Amino acid sequence: MTNEVGTAVPTFKYPGPNGEGGRDRGPERGRSYPMVTNDICVSTVQVFDQKGGGTNLHYHKNEDGYWLVLGGRAKFYNADGETVADLGKHEGIFVPRFTRYRFESSDDREPLEILRVSHHSEAKDDHAAVGEEGAKED
């Protein structure tokens, strides 16, 4: 199938938390399974086997996105370390650009499987990690 300007309409499949095709990012950073990526959208499923595995505090300058838990549990934190969401299966959070956040797996019984869908408003390389001196480009 193609759209009105001839662009192919892709299909995709998530193979599950132990499936092939994931990029291993280490025990704390988990695995990332690409779903769809183009010049304005990125979608991945990220899997964290260990409780406490997740992301560092960061924000995106040109990206709004949402996260949807497919399995396990996730806790999202703000820049002050306060819990802003404690999410279970089929629950999610929308994170607007310039929002400092991090999340981690909070269930020691099953891996966290979490779907990320983001829209790029401008440049793709918009990730900034937050350190002691403020924000720095990765």
Looking at the domain assignment, is residue 7 inside a domain?
A: no
Domain count, the chain: 1
Q: What is the C-alpha to C-alpha distance for residues 29 and 49, in angstroms, rounded to an integer?
A: 9
The CATH number given to whatever domain includes residue 95 is 2.60.120.10
CB 51 within 8 A of CB 106: yes
One digit per residue, the tens of pLDDT, for the chain of length 138 reads 988 988 888 899 999 998 999 999 987 889 999 999 988 899 999 999 999 999 999 999 999 999 999 999 999 999 999 999 999 999 999 999 999 999 999 999 999 999 999 998 765 555 666 654 444 333
CB 23 within 8 A of CB 32: yes
Radius of gyration of the chain from Cα atoms? 15
pLDDT tens-place string over residues 46-55: 999 999 999 9
Looking at the domain assignment, is residue 8 inside a domain?
A: no
Range of the domain at 56: 38-130
